[in-house]
Structures are given as structure tokens and as C-alpha cells.
Structure 1
Amino acid sequence: MKNHRIFDVQPGRSEAELHDFLCKLKEKDRVRVVCIDLSSPYRRLIQMHFPNAQIVADRFHVVRILNYHFLQLARLLAPTLKSNRGYLAAMRKAPERLSSKQKQRLDELFETHPVLQPIYQQMHQLREIMNSKH
């Protein structure tokens, strides 16, 4: 970490695909940090093979999980969102990147469901914080 370098990236998504690679690594007890997405199989593998490592989620996956949960909340509060991909696309997009048509869609959505506007604002404020590198 002090050199800001990635040690290794290994393809594979299942325990079977990664097991041989992880078993061949030496001095696994010296590994201090492992960065993964937060899937349960990966966490189990890391805990099994790197007992002293701290598991860290990369920002991309954290933002993705946060957005997912914010949009799930929005769907609960406004069930019509499930069937309207245009509204969902506008909700996902950062305010500064919205087209004029998407801004119009969001205004319509917030007029119909005012409770969604603070959710949208919080979702993107949190995204900005999570995307900050310092």
C-alpha cells in the first residue's frame, strides 16, 4: 500500500475458480488489506485464505450498492417507477449530467411524488462524497 500498487488481479468469480490460485500463494498471513466487491463468496474466501487481512470495498461497488438501495426505496414509495425506465434512468444520473429531457422527466416525477426529490438529492450527495479520493 505504501507504494500504491496492486499486487495481483485474478480472473474468476467462483470459489472453485479461485481456490487453486489462493492455495498457491505464500505468506498469506502477511497480507493486511484485500480490496474486493462485497459479494459473500469473496468475503468467505478472503477470510479463509487471508486470516489477518482487512477487507476493503472499492468505491465503485460501494456507490453501486448505495444507488441500488436508494432506488429500491424510491420504488417502494412510488410503485409506478418499476414500469418506467425513463424515470429510473433520470434518477440514476447525476444532476450535472442530465439532458434537458431528463430534467423535465425528473420535474414531472417530483411533482407527482414529492417524497422522491430528497431521496434523489441525498443519493447524489452521497455519491459525490464516495467518489472523492481525498
Structure 2
Amino acid sequence: MEFLFFLGGFFVLIPVGYVAGRASERRHLASLAERERALRGISVAAGRGTSETAFRTLGLVQGSVVIGQDYFLAVATGFAKLLGGRLRPYEGLYVRARREAVLRLKADAAARGADAVLNIRFVTMDIASLASGSGITGVEIVAYGTAVQSPAP
């Protein structure tokens, strides 16, 4: 009887976790889209700029984020690992983390009065479970670059 109670709880919590995780992810994606519209005036580029343009350098700016995966994502990723191929559950995690890091970088640049960030770079670190030492339970992404102001026209 105790086993049936445990099994029933498992099959109830999985759909609840899936629905709650998807709702949280949708809210985060909506927040990202809204903030991206607000900060669209600040451009980011991997290059250093052209030699003809003299930028006023405002300093190093950075944005970092740590995003953890939910339990359902871990279960779905476990099935994907068994079958092989692309790990789609992780792709969404990395895309959201990268977008959030860039938004935080842009916010830092806007606070300094910049209108662009040049020479942007990313540092990524997978955060594994401390208990098991394997598997990804989250990701940390740091975006950094040089905040600049374009010359006045």
C-alpha cells in the first residue's frame, strides 16, 4: 500500500512539475523579450570596431547569470541521453541563460551611458550536482565587453 502511495505521488508530481516549470519558463521568456525591446538601442558586437571610428571608452561591463534546471528537465534530459542525439532540454537552458547575461551586460552599459558594447565575450560553466558529481543542474554564463560611446554626429 505504501508503495502505491509513493508511485501515485510520483505520477502526480511529474505533471505538476512540468506545468509549473513551463509556466516559469514562459514568464522568463516574456520578461526577456520585454527587456530586449527596452535595451535595443545598445548594440553589442564581437569585433573591436572599425579603425575610422573613434569611440569614447567607458570601461569594462559585464553581466552574469546562473540558471538552474527543474526536475522535469533533468528527467527529460535523462531520456534524451538514453536515446542519443541532441539534448534539446539543455539547449533552451543555455539560450535563456545567454540572453539573460547579455541583457544584464546591456543594463550595465546603459547605466554608464554607453550606446554600444564592443569585443563581447562569454564564459560558460556547467554546475554539476554536488551530491552525485555528475549531470548538469544549472549553468552559469558571464558576458563581458568594453562599453563605448559613439562620437557625436
Task: Give the structure-1-normalised TM-score.
Answer: 0.27
Larger strand percent: 2
Larger helix percent: 1
Task: Give the structure-2-normalised TM-score.
Answer: 0.24
